[in-house]
Chain A
Amino acid sequence: MNAHRADVVIVGGGIMGAATAFFLRKRGVSVILLERGLIGQQASGVNFGNTRRMGRPVEQLPLSNRSRESWLKFKELFGEDVELLLNGQLRVGFTPAHEERMAKYAQEAQDFGLGMQMLSANALHERFPYLGPELTAGCYAPYEGHANPRLAAPAIGRAAVREGAQVFENTEIVRVEKEGEDFRVTAADGRIFRAPVALITAGAWGNRISAKFGEPVPMIAKAPQMCVTEPVPYAIGPTTGALADAPEQSVYFRQVARGNIIIGGGGHELVDLDNRRAYVNPSRTLLTLKNAPRVMPAFNHLSIIRVWSGIEGYMEDSRPVMGPSARVPGLYYAFGFSGEGFQLGPGVGDVMAELIHTGATTTPIEHYHIGRFAKLAAQPA
């Protein structure tokens, strides 16, 4: 069989893989993108859709800001509208400790252009009168927004195709090996793809490939729990997230242009990685339904019409793996983004393309190098 060839082969067509393929083409690099299902069908297509920067670790803000530039010109860059709404982001808290956390973050991240404003209880309730009386403080970031995840990664994938990327959907990769100067990538049906550079953007499944190259990472797959109300007249401005003392207690919500309100929270479920299914536990749904009206009492007058979830890889240190392999020349990784990878997607693609093309990047990503887990590989199994 004739092997497909390119300068770079990418395994995994979520937002990370699709965006990298796009930006590599912009740099004139030939690229093959391989996806087991359809582009953007996993985490990238089912997430909550928040493109906020506020709340991210400070070390991630340069990358997040780089990504924001792409989001702001999404249509121009990728050719399609993905319902980006820039209505700001609001964090709210119930206790003095929450207020302290928000204030501390506002202080630490003040140089990154988020425009955060701390709001006292009075200011909060005056400005957002629909909020519940238990809330005692807030932090508002006016430039943040959200977009439609069902549309975004597929749109980037189509843009990559228009730029000349070879995209293969329904192509499950069963082996990635180094063979001489090349990577030889084998699909379940026997097709073979070759390139001198390989990038692994396989999301929650990334560890399965990195481990084969002697670079296992401590990652577990989890499923955040989502639900959505019927459409109602547009009334909520900013995407809102309440601070919580335990993951189960968390609640966040945004109203899409169509009027439905998407609510996330209630903690995570474990997932079935082999069957690629993430389930919603009804107890978690009920927990969210109990907690959401504490943030916005009017929720009690609405109904939810659908629940869903998605599969994410959670790293032990909550940081993704991004950058070159520590062991294999020509091999790169960008996976294990949890909770916040949707916003980062275009930026990660931009940075990985720059790194692969030029050998360096202007955006700091050293925190994410896979070498930090090298001792794991050294330990006997």
Chain B
Amino acid sequence: MAQPRVIIVGAGPSGVRCAETLVAAGLRPTVIDENRRDGGQIYRRQPDNFTRPYAKLYGTEAGRAQSLHESFDALRDKVDYLPETLAWNIFDNKLHVVRNEVSSAMPYDALIICSGATDRLMPVKGWHYAGTYSLGASQIALKAQACAIGRQIVFLGTGPLLYLVASQYIKAGANVAAVLDTSPLMRRVMALPKLLARPSVLLNGLGLVAGIKRAGVPVLTGITPVEIKGESESGVQSVLIRDSRGNERSFQCDAVAMGYHLRPETQLADLARCAFRFEQETRQWLPEVDEDGRSSVPGVYLAGDGMRVLGADAAEIGGRLAAMAVLTDLRLKVSDEELQGLRAEQASMERFRQGLAQAFPWPAEQAAQLPDEAIVCRCEAITAGELRHVVCGMGAQEANRAKAFSRVGMGRCQGRYCGHAGAEVIAHAAGVPVEQVGRLRGQAPVKPLSIAVREEQE
């Protein structure tokens, strides 16, 4: 048999470990990543001319970051690595990639999608003012460019990343005005049994919160965001919330970092026509996979946060598991012992994930209470009121129908950022469960594609 054609999309922790396992079995996979360098999101490598040390860049994760980078460096002549290459479509068992405005179609026998996650966002009135960033963007600004998003910053949302990025900002010397968490503290206590599946990670998290408080930054839990106040000229000026007792409080700032945990990047899985299922705990649609990452489509595998958000350590495990699934399906040998061990480790991470979902729930009720004038879809500037109108006045109770009538999800981001909140607004207005609203169909290209692109000449 000729060498099977195996393509990995993503050179983050899952993609790198996947490649490593495949190479160890004698295969030569192609690794595609839209970034300039490997490392993915969490272990993003700094530009060549930057020289910040690992400890400074990655903190407690420095060892893991360095190990991943070194592993990939050692693989470089054993894989075909295509950086700055976007996978923009999948059709007929071919992955379509574009690099320097040249598009090529790459046939595959196995495709492993390790596409990672992006911020999950819940709109709040005023979030369109300049100075509102996602947590991810705030972190990237710091990690890749060593700059802060503002002089005085409010962190708003929920989830572990809220505390992580806030403390990274504090460490970098930025002025953090407050950390405002929508999840009530009680939820964390209730989630403890599940969170104890990974005691060291839990301790790490508790340490972060303590550190933020020690720095004198107010940390409020169980809050309800009311409004980001600002002006179209000068941008964000303050954040208004209701605290857990119901009192309104305002925090001066010139920037807001906002996020409600993460959502997997699933457009490629969608374009590959993988089946999706609705997950109640996190109120979102996820690709259907077996324990090792096999999707519903033969030859298509998923690993890491692009499958479901299990975090960086689990992404490394998931990458290995998916590679072993590929090897098994290609009738190559895998170690059963190793497989069982990885599965067991992944299972404890899955338990931890459920703990996180319980501790830091997606605040669906906020979408329901969003004032009519608040913008839901930032790309198209569509308000909650306009979206409700197509539900109640035009009978659009399904996500794609509401998109067709209102344009919510029709902009540059194609619903990746507004899709979840939009579905909640629709569900509430229609009085149906959110799973009944369905999900926006994925349409190519995965990211905007330049019209100057040309097909590769054979």
Contact = CB atoms under 8 A, between A and B. Distances in A.
Contacts of A229: 451
A280 B451 contact: no
A270 interface: no
A150 B405 contact: yes
Interface centre among A41, A303, A305 (most CB of B within 10 A): A305
A286 B450 CA distance: 10
B247 to A, nearest CB: 42
A299 B451 contact: yes
A92 B414 CA distance: 32
Contacts of B451: 229, 289, 292-293, 299-304
A230 B455 contact: no
Interface residues of B, number: 30
B71 interface: no
Contacts of B147: none
Interface in A275-299: 279-283, 285-287, 289-290, 292-293, 299
B378 to A, nearest CB: 13
Contact of B452 (A287, A300, A306): A300
Main secondary structure of the interface of B (DSSP, over half): loop
A281 B93 CA distance: 12
A258 interface: yes
B401 A307 contact: no
B91 A279 contact: yes
A282 B103 CA distance: 10
A160 to B, nearest CB: 13
B417 to A, nearest CB: 14
A286 B103 contact: yes
B89 to A, nearest CB: 5
B142 interface: no
Interface string B436-458: 00000001110011111111000
Interface in A69-97: none
A219 interface: no
A5 interface: no
B407 interface: yes
Contacts of A158: 394-395
B451 to A, nearest CB: 5
A304 B445 contact: yes
Contacts of A283: 105, 455
Interface size class of A (residues with CB under 8 A): 20 to 34
B452 A282 contact: no
A337 to B, nearest CB: 20
B174 to A, nearest CB: 33
A45 interface: yes
B443 A308 contact: yes
A281 B455 contact: no
B343 interface: no
Residue among B88, B89, B412, B451 with max Cβ neighbours from chain A (10 Å): B451
B190 interface: no
A38 interface: yes
Contacts of B449: 289, 303-304
A279 B442 CA distance: 12
B445 A45 contact: no
Interface in A29-50: 38, 41, 45
A293 B380 CA distance: 26
A305 B394 contact: no
Contacts of A299: 451
Contacts of A281: 91-92
Most chain-A Cβ atoms within 10 A of its Cβ — which of B89, B394, B401, B449? B449
Interface string A19-31: 0000000000000
Contact of A307 (B395, B405, B445, B452): B445
A229 to B, nearest CB: 7
A45 B410 contact: no
Contacts of B445: 304-307
Closest 10 CB pairs of A and B: A303-B448, A150-B404, A300-B452, A282-B89, A286-B455, A299-B451, A282-B96, A289-B451, A306-B443, A303-B450
12 contacts: A151-B404, A230-B412, A281-B91, A282-B91, A282-B103, A286-B455, A289-B449, A299-B451, A302-B450, A302-B451, A306-B443, A306-B445
